[in-house]
């Protein structure tokens, strides 16, 4: 039963991968077509490494919250905050996002310049 559930979740998740990761995989430059396998291998290694590190960090955070005995109280407190934000939006301060957008634009510019290089590190 567990294997069947895992297979079905994997199949359902593949639609997410096609929609979100497909365009990224198609955008991988292949240095003029000289090294398509190397570019694909680098893309897959980067993707797997990134997801593994993110999973390790978030799993560690979740474990530390659970091990400290804060999980139930934290879940209830955050649920109350979310309900309050929905029911009384005027009481929740609107964040100032100017610095965030400036940093995001710098990051996007750097990524755009890197992708224009059309080499294996892009």
Judge whether 121 lies within some domain.
no
Give residue-wise pLDDT tens across range 65-79: 877 788 888 889 999
Cα separation, 35 vs 119, in Å, equals 9
Angle of helix 36-67 versus helix 71-87 axis, rounded to 10: 100
Q: pLDDT tens-digit profile of 42-66?
A: 888 888 999 999 999 999 988 888 7
Count of the separate structural domains present in the chain: 1
Q: What residues make up the domain containing 48?
A: 2-115
Residue 55 lies in a domain: yes
How far apart are alpha carbons 13 and 20 in whole angstroms? 11
Domain assignment present for 41: yes
The model's pTM? 0.50
- Mean pLDDT of all residues belonging to the chain: 82
Reply yes or no on whether the pLDDT at 88 is more than 80.
yes
């Amino acid at each position: 039963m567990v294997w069947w559930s895992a297979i079905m979740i994997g199949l359902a998740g593949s639609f997410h991968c096609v929609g979100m990761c497909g365009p990224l995989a198609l955008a991988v430059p292949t240095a003029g077509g000289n090294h398509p396998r190397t570019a694909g291998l680098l893309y897959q290694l980067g993707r797997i490494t990134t997801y593994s590190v993110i999973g390790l960090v978030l799993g560690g955070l979740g474990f530390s919250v659970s091990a400290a005995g804060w999980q139930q109280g934290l879940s209830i407190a955050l649920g109350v905050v979310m309900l309050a934000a929905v029911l009384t939006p005027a009481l929740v301060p609107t964040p100032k996002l100017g610095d965030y957008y400036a940093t995001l634009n710098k990051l996007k510019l750097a990524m755009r310049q890197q992708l224009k290089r059309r080499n294996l590190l892009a």
